[in-house]
Structures are given as structure tokens and as C-alpha cells.
Structure 1
Amino acid sequence: MKWTVVCPYLRLEPERGVAALVGGAQVALFRTFDDGLYAIGNLDPISGAAVLSRGIVGSRGDTPVVASPMHKQAFDLTTGECLDEPGVRVPVYAVRVTDGMVEIADLVGERT
């Protein structure tokens, strides 16, 4: 698995997303209020727009989510599953912090 350095961890604001280009794909990277890091595909499969990094970060119960800024569907940041449209999902990327730098895996995987 190849990792791409995206940015320093401290540059990420809690409850905000940023977009990054990783292995030719647009990825939405999020830091949650509890300092969790999540990376999903940036393309909203409902609207077709690359906007998920601009979504509203929050939670549904214990599940961290981002709500699309287009039509407000919520996507589980751990699985990529859309909580409002069964069968719809976005890719989930592995993310880690190494020496204070956020890295995202070039290979897409799904966390379960």
C-alpha cells in the first residue's frame, strides 16, 4: 500500500473537511471533534458533485457522519454508507498520522 502525505495534522480543524488529490482521486479528509481522522471519496454519488469535503461534520448517535452540502444525505465516515439512501456509498480510504503528518493510502478500501 502506498501512502500519500496530505498535510500536517495540526492544520486540520475539528469538525471541518478538506479535499486532497490522492493517487488521482479526490478524497475528502475530516477531523472530528474527538480528533478522529476519516477519509472518504469527495464525490457525492447523489448529486454527482465533488463536494463532500464541504459537508457538515457531526454524528448520528455514535456514528461519525458528514452531510452532503447538496441534498443533506448523511454518509458514515467509517463505512462510506449513506444513512439516508440504502445501497448508496462512497469509497473509504485508510488514513494515519506519521510524525505529525496526515497520510492517506492510495488504495481504496472499505472499513467494516
Structure 2
Amino acid sequence: MLWHDIASIDDLVADSGVCALVENTQIALFYIPQEPAAVFAINNYDPIGDANVLSRGIIGSMQNSLVVASPLYKQHFCLQTGQCIEQSDVCVATYPVKIENDRVFVQAQVCAEQTSAA
């Protein structure tokens, strides 16, 4: 699979989110600088709020998981799995990320698919 060079690690905001467009998909990137440093990539689309806003959410922890709280209705999405903590039938897509030579790369291939209740 193709890795997309998104940005320098210095372009990301520590303990916060930014949005990148990868193959016409908005992806929210979250940089956690604590050792070991990590970058998480999830779809920027909040399926509950029906808007591309997750990159503007607040990072925290809940149920032993790193999460982002949607700025709209405050649901929490796990940064590793995309699962919504409050609604088990909802999750957002997650994407593979790697850091090489201080560059952040994302694969457009989805790790976990977004689903929602019908």
C-alpha cells in the first residue's frame, strides 16, 4: 500500500489534532509526544454530529484508552480503534501511521471501517 507523506512531525500540534486531506478523505491526525511519541489517524467525520470536526476535538483518556471528544455532541472516539465509547454501534475509520526521519506518513487504506446504526 502507498504511504502518503503528510507533514513534518514539527508541523503537528502536541496533544491536539490537525486535519489532512488524503486521497479526497479528511483525516484527523493526533500527535501524542509523550514517550514513546505516537501519531494517530482517524476519519475527521463525526457520524453523530454529521460534520468533519473530529480534528478540533479535545484529547483525553477514558476506559484506559486515548480518546478524542467530538466538539459537537461530546461523544468520545478511541484513537486506536475508532470506537465510540458512548455508542457501541458507532465507530470511525482509523488509518495506519508511521514516523520516519521526522516525517509523518499515512496510508489511505482503512484499518477499521466506520459504521453507524440504521
Q: Cα deviation per residue 1:65-109 (whole Å; 9 max; x = unaligned)?
A: 000000000000000000011110000000011211101001111
Which ranges in structure 1 are unaligned for 5 or more consecutive residues? none
Partner SS for 1:88: coil
CA RMSD of aligned residues (A): 1.4
TM-score, with length taken from structure 1: 0.93
Aligned residue for 1:25?
25
Percent of paired sites with the same residue? 41
- 1:108 paired with 2:110, answer yes
Compared CA separation, residues 61 and 83, structure 1 to 2 (3 A): closer
Between the aligned partners of 2:65 and 2:38, the Cα distance in structure 1 is: 12
How many residue pairs match? The answer is 111
State whether residues 32 and 57 of structure 1, in contact with CA within 8 Å, keep that contact through their aligned partners in structure 2.
no
Between the aligned partners of 2:53 and 2:88, the Cα distance in structure 1 is: 20
After TM superposition, the structure 1 = structure 2 runs for residues 6-17 of structure 1, keeping only pairs within 5 Å, are: 6-17=6-17
Deviation at 1:43, TM superposition (A): 0.2
- 1:83 paired with 2:88, answer no
Deviation at 1:62, TM superposition (A): 2.7
Which ranges in structure 2 are unaligned for 5 or more consecutive residues? 113-118
Q: Cα deviation per residue 1:16-60 (whole Å; 9 max; x = unaligned)?
A: 100001111110000125232100000000011000000001111
Q: Which moved more, 1:53-62 or 1:77-86?
A: 53-62
